[in-house]
Structures are given as C-alpha cells and as structure tokens.
C-alpha cells in the first residue's frame, strides 16, 4: 500500500450529523441554507470548466455557512479551491497524491465495505470512515452486498472513538432511526433529500432525528 502521510489528515468533528451527498452546487447552496452543516458534492461530469465552477461554488457556500463541504473524487480541484475535505474510494488511494491532500490541510474521508477495507483505510489515518452500503442503493454500483444494521452496529463498536464514522448507502427517513440506534453519529443520504417532495421539510425531519441522539 502507499505510505500514509506523516501526521495523517486534519481532524473533523466526531458528530458530522446529517450528511447529504448532492449532485450540484445549486443543491449544496440550498441544503446549507436549510441549516445542514456537512455535505458532499458528487459531481458527475467530464467538463473540466463545469467541474471547477461547481466545486468553487460549493466551497464558497461552505465558507458562508461555516459548514463542512467535502468533494467527491476530484482531489486536485478540491485542493485548488481550498475545500474543507475530499471523499475517496478504496481504489483512489492507489492513484491520489495523499501527501498533497494532507499538506493542503484538506480532510480525507474514505469509503469502506467490510472489515478488510476498514483496516486498510485506517492505515492512511483518514479524517473519517464511511461504512456501507448499509442498505441496497441505486445511486451507484456497489462492489459488495449490503452490510445491514447488525454489521453496522459491530463496526461502530469496533471503531467508535478511534475515527469519526459515517453510515452510507440506501438510507432514507424510514431507515434513519434504526441506523442511529447503532450509535453511528453521521449518516449520508442522497434521495432522501434530492427526491423529497418538500426539501425543507425532509431536511428538518432528518435533522430532528440527529438532535435526539445521546
């Protein structure tokens, strides 16, 4: 494996809370305006100019709202824009310049799918680990079967206090209470926000679930 950057990556809060993963800067601005404090831009485009604009707008929205905005995959552009953090997959650590990300003071979130990948990710001393997919999801092709709540609970027992944890994958408002009962302090959502008939009402309802955590 590539060597971990000396000193690891900057820390992020243990309680990242509701973590919407969003397709555009418009969505990032809208959701941060509703009081969300952690979000991720997952922009799917091959247009370099579009990508730069979307990342710059999202990062600026994060600054305005004093929020944590992570950029999915595009670590070079995230560094250039002064992003709070980047989120990478397991395969990305083989090609990304992890030292450059760390030296820029950018936080690193890593995706994991089971025990082996969690141990592998811990080697790099990331700012948080994403644990998934908890449930079946249609937003991307997953390399493993859904982990389920029983496994998520075991992951939390093993890693809580060592690194911030984010549950991800197929989580909606109906599933959220069970996810939070595992003790995880952050959960990523996609369609629960982007496909909600009333975005503001959906965000408020989800935020209230986190407010009830011990």
Q: pTM of the full predicted structure?
A: 0.96
Residue 214 has pLDDT above 80, yes or no: no
Hey, CA dihedral for 164, 72, 180, 38, is it positive or negative? positive
Residue 145 assigned ligand-binding role: no
Mapped onto helix, strand or coil, the DSSP state of residue 61 is: helix
Mapped onto helix, strand or coil, the DSSP state of residue 107 is: strand
| CA–CA dist 158, 30 (Å, integer) | 35
Hey, CA dihedral for 81, 92, 48, 61, is it positive or negative? negative
- Cβ 169 vs Cβ 152: under 8 Å: no
Mapped onto helix, strand or coil, the DSSP state of residue 213 is: coil
Q: Which residue has the tokens 């209470």?
A: 177
Q: How confident is the model at residue 138, as a pLDDT?
A: 75
1 confidence band (pLDDT: 50, 70, 90): confident
Residue 111 assigned ligand-binding role: yes
Residue 144 has pLDDT above 90, yes or no: no
Mapped onto helix, strand or coil, the DSSP state of residue 180 is: helix
Q: What is the overall mean pLDDT for the chain?
A: 95
**pLDDT tens string 6-24:** 988 999 999 999 999 999 9
Residue 140 assigned ligand-binding role: yes
Domains, the chain: 17-211 (3.20.20.70)
Residue 170 assigned ligand-binding role: yes
Residue 153 assigned ligand-binding role: no
Residue 202 has pLDDT above 80, yes or no: yes
- Cβ 213 vs Cβ 194: under 8 Å: no
Residue 208 assigned ligand-binding role: no
**pLDDT tens string 24-72:** 999 999 999 999 999 999 999 989 999 999 999 999 999 999 999 999 9
Residue 38 assigned ligand-binding role: no
Q: How confident is the model at residue 212, as a pLDDT?
A: 76
Q: Which residues have C-beta within 8 Å of that of residue 182, sequence separation ≥ 6?
A: 149, 152, 153, 156, 167
213 confidence band (pLDDT: 50, 70, 90): confident
């Amino acid at each position: 494996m590539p060597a971990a950057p000396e000193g690891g990556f900057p820390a992020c809060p243990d309680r990242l809370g509701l973590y919407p993963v969003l397709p555009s800067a418009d969505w990032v601005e809208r959701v941060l305006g509703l009081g969300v404090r952690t979000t991720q831009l997952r922009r799917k485009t091959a247009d370099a100019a579009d990508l730069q604009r979307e990342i710059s707008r999202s990062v600026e929205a994060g600054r305005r709202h004093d929020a944590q905005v992570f950029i999915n995959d595009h670590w070079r552009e995230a560094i250039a824009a002064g992003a709070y953090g980047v989120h990478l997959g397991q395969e990305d650590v083989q090609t990304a310049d992890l030292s450059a990300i760390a030296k820029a003071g950018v936080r690193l979130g890593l995706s994991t799918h089971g025990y082996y990948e969690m141990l592998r990710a811990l080697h790099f001393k990331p700012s948080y680990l994403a644990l998934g997919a908890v449930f079946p999801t249609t937003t991307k092709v997953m390399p493993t079967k859904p982990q389920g709540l029983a496994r998520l609970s075991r992951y939390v027992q093993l890693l809580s206090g060592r690194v911030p944890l984010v549950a991800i994958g197929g989580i909606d408002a109906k599933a959220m209470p069970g996810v939070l009962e595992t003790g995880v302090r952050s959960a990523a959502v996609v369609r629960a926000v982007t496909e909600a008939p009333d975005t503001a009402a959906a965000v408020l309802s989800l935020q209230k679930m986190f407010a009830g955590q011990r």
